Structure 1
């Protein structure tokens, strides 16, 4: 979808925003014969609902032959105005598509209580994130699943072309992550995923791909053990964006990339199995975020590490009770083959610390079903060994709407992952009780002293399973790209 900035109305459709039934000032100046005002005032759908839309075809005057959409938002407090605006834009986008509108002018002059630049960005976010569809594999039904809206012209006198382009790069990253999460596993597997990452070199990202043989030489027994039941070999991908040549250590992001997870010998039940194609959600977010940094030429140093493997059941699959040796030298008892994400992350995190010497490391993973029991699909779970890092991530989530909730880290939980025959085992003694916390403690065993680390469990928020939400149509969400962007922008770009 294309966006433009202009000071004039060019398209055949135009949209304005009203708050609490107060007719928009900018529309009043154009609606000289009060035709739109009369229809808006008489529209019984404009009531106390959070958002309602009045549609008018203007046959004459300054709005001649234009289809006018007036979006009324129920204003409660100034604090929630921007969120309400983004949500209203999602409703507007739906109305535009239902009306088969291909391009629209959007008046961004709304109310003096809102910052003009933030207003434009909120409108952009609402339209682009809600106008998403994945129709790659439709043939007969392709036209039925296409969006008609392909262009929005944002009416503003602000000189914010750079800000618009930068924000679009981030939104494109979110939508690209959705695409990857939606891809079926016969199309997206470790090698094909790694090849897609290689193409990011065209925008300035350096891509290194480790083969299984290279991983063996490095001693990544935990990582390779997960993949040994699959016909696809594992891949470790390192995406480097060095936007600041001051030799500062990079911020390292590590993403779990299980392209399909059967659970292995501890086979998952049939319900929900199809969702396991998105068990690479963390890797998708990390890859697409690094690409977005390159597109907007951010002056920071960031490395994304993707742990790509497929967890299958076969005659070569690892067994419960197996013991593997990780790259760190620690031995791991495999208590449950379905607790595989933490195994690939253990070696990927150790590799990241050995090679890139980060002071800050953040991993994102669809790690546990237990996080869904704890938080539902509204918050992602946050675990950290550093209060300052934890606070910065929570703040970033609040700013962009990708919310985090912090969980405790305690030696009492850590003791649950001690093994009787190895250094550590990959599940806690309580099973699913506190399962997200014991999983985080497992990962912490592979964090070097002095490294500030955070683990974000996105299992509950990677998929919007039941109904459309304003910025997240039903399906996969790309949750995490905007969160990481806000974290970097707020704490390191200045």
Structure 2
């Protein structure tokens, strides 16, 4: 073994064999898939499912004459709800990577092995040893997500070979695969590649899981947002070809790639909504997007206006909405699987489309990013949009109380008292603690109108959570440890950081009010906890969890799987969670 990072040219001949794969299978991961995702992908015929069934039709289930090419699960006759103007076409092929035609191919190498193996070795052989020479000259050590490239000079069908590090073989994780695929795709894009082929990365983990993570990571890395720029980005990847060298495992790879694409598309859909400005993404717009999603996915939909919310007694939600000229909308999307009655899960997203702070006005600098205060709502819409394609076996209700928080002569004032849907009275200690008010009425709706078995809310709720956990980690609060454990496992599977924080009963005293049942804020210190305790008052005795995504929903720097801006958190966590429930 040479110095750290050097590779020797191996001996041996590659056996060229390239076959376009045929046939698709249902979206089930089954044994060996992503942990906790055993329920992914049951399909049901449209004629058999009840509202919200969300299955692909029988003619889309594949078979001996179907190709493993799809666009987000199926090829619809019209533009999908809220779809981005650009998206990557994905297909799966079998055969040696060095025989695949593409502008660039992406291959992974492990650290500290001293020589190239398998696909990298065959590519190096075809290139006359050039790959090993470049890696040795650059002291490429195979560290996770480190990337380099070589020009092929026409010696293989691809114009360039992008090499990405996978770290030590024994330490390989799905997140390593996800980040490596993202790094490789971005390098290929920056080189001007329009078509990219990438091998299912890694070898220690089940092929379905690796195919899912490879596809997901590559598509997340391909994301750009230039909707409002006159000159669009000229470097875009148009097609992604996932390559599985072993034909016996192609079907598993195709299943994993399909779910990975659905997860990535849902994440990017949420990113688009959050990245868009508040003058376009207002409550009425969110309601229109929900209507498109419901129509396309055959979901149930109810949208309540101000008068209807007033009849239901949503005093907290309408109090927040009182200062804005934008009419509030309470959105209820529902997905119901076919078959016997299942558990009902409510997913609730904070939908403040712009948060000025109200009369307790934010400073100008703090207001600049407040278009992202509807990240929870964007996540709910993305989740509900994906469910018909994934077809989980659990009933899901997506709830959004959408409004702006603005100052005006009609806005709520500090010291005002509002009444929640369940009759609880709240003194307004600060108008900038508005998200918990809207979520409280949404929780009441989940219990009283939906009769949900459990609820999970997602909200960019507190700066205190960012102080505690930083910008990359969500805070988790729950009144049921079993639910908390399942969500933490889902976050681990999805590659989204999450940490459980305590609900300290003694801090409940901080929410006391002299004139009402509770105040909406407490004293300084423990702000994320007191916000969680406030919401807990509306959870009753049913399982409930609160995800404070104030940090990771919108980031100021590029991440390993996307550019700065909206991240789409926690869409993938919640999809993992819902797919694991029965």
- Using the size of structure 2 for normalisation, the TM-score is 0.80
Per the alignment, do residues 135 and 265 of structure 1 end up closer, same or farther by CA in structure 2, a change over 3 Å counting? same
Correspondence for 2:478 among 364, 371, 384: 384
The separation in 1 between residues aligned to 2:128 and 2:313, in whole angstroms, is 75
Equivalent runs, 1:336-351 vs 2, <5 Å: 336-351=430-445
Task: Measure, in 2, the Cα distance between the counterparts of 1:109 and 1:344.
Answer: 43
| CA displacement 1:34-70 (0-9 Å, x = unmatched) | 2334433443241365444342232355x15632222
Structure 1, unaligned runs of 5 or more: none
Asked if residue 483 in structure 1 is aligned to residue 573 in structure 2, the reply is yes
1:327 aligns with 2:327: no
Contact 2:214 2:257 in 1 (8 A): no
* Alignment of 1:36 onto 2:130: yes
Residue pair 1:265, 1:313 contacting (<8 A) in 2 also: yes
Task: Work out which of the residue numbers 66, 87, 104 in structure 1 matches 2:179.
Answer: 87
2:527 counterpart of 1:435: yes
Equivalents in 2 of 1:65, 1:128: separation in Å?
Answer: 20
Map 1:108-119; keep pairs closer than 5 Å: 108=200, 110-111=202-203, 113-119=204-210
2:271 corresponds to: 178
1:82-101 CA-partner distances (Å, limit 9, x unpaired): 32222222221221112100
How far did residue 146 of structure 1 move? 4.5
Aligned with residue 563 of structure 2, among 473, 476, 482:
473
Match of 2:360 in 1: 266
Larger deviation: 13-22 or 289-298?
A: 13-22
Q: Structure 2 vs 1, CA of residues 442 and 22 (structure 1 numbering), >3 Å: closer, same or farther? A: same
Larger mean Cα displacement after TM superposition, 48-57 or 401-410: 48-57
Kindly provide the CA deviation profile for residues 9-48 of structure 1, in whole angstroms up to 9, marking residues without a partner as x.
1323222211125313124335346233443344324136
Give the Cα separation in 1 of the matches to 2:300 and 2:397: 9
Question: Are the aligned partners of 2:208 and 2:255 in contact in 1 as well (CA < 8 Å)?
Answer: no
Structure 1 CA distance for aligned equivalents of residues 352 and 455 of structure 2: 20
Q: Secondary structure at the match of 2:368?
A: helix
For 1:402 and 1:57, locate their aligned partners in 2 and report how far apart those are by CA, in whole Å.
Answer: 35
| 1:164/1:47 CA distance change after superposition, 3 Å | closer
> Which whole-Å CA distance do the structure 1 matches of 2:153 and 2:565 have between them?
40
User: Any idea what SS the aligned residue of 1:256 has?
Assistant: strand
Match of 1:240 among 324, 334, 341: 334
Tell me the residue number matched to 1:133: 224
1:425 deviation in Å?
1.0
Q: Relative to structure 2, which stretch is displaced further, 203-212 or 36-45? A: 36-45
d(CA) in 2 for partners of 1:275 and 1:104?
34
Alpha-carbon shift at residue 272 of structure 1 (Å) = 2.6
Match of 1:149 among 211, 223, 237: 237
User: For residues 417 and 106 of structure 1, do their structure 2 counterparts lie closer, same or farther at Cα, with a shift above 3 Å needed?
Assistant: same
Aligned: 1:12 with 2:99: no
Please report the TM-score for the alignment, with normalisation by the length of structure 1.
0.93
The alignment yields a C-alpha RMSD, in angstroms, of 1.8
CA distance in 1, matches of 2:158, 2:279: 49
Q: Is the alpha carbon distance of 1:378 and 1:80 closer, same or farther for their aligned partners in structure 2, counting shifts above 3 Å?
A: farther
* Greater helix content: 1
In the alignment, the residues of structure 1 paired with residue 158 and residue 347 of structure 2 have an alpha-carbon distance, to the nearest angstrom, of: 51
Quick check: 1:59–1:65 contact (8 Å CA) kept in 2?
no
Q: Which residue pairs with 1:422 in the alignment?
A: 516
* 2:344 aligned residue: 250
Aligned to 1:2: 89
CA distance in 1, matches of 2:142, 2:243: 28
| Contact 2:282–2:353, Cα closer than 8 Å, also in 1 | yes
* Cross-structure match for 1:352: 446
Which of 245, 248, 258 lines up with 1:165 in the alignment? Answer: 258
Tell me how many residue pairs correspond in the alignment: 482
Q: 1:206 aligns with which of 270, 295, 300?
A: 300
Which residue of 2 is the match for residue 26 of structure 1? 119
Does the 8 Å CA contact 1:126/1:470 hold for their aligned counterparts? no
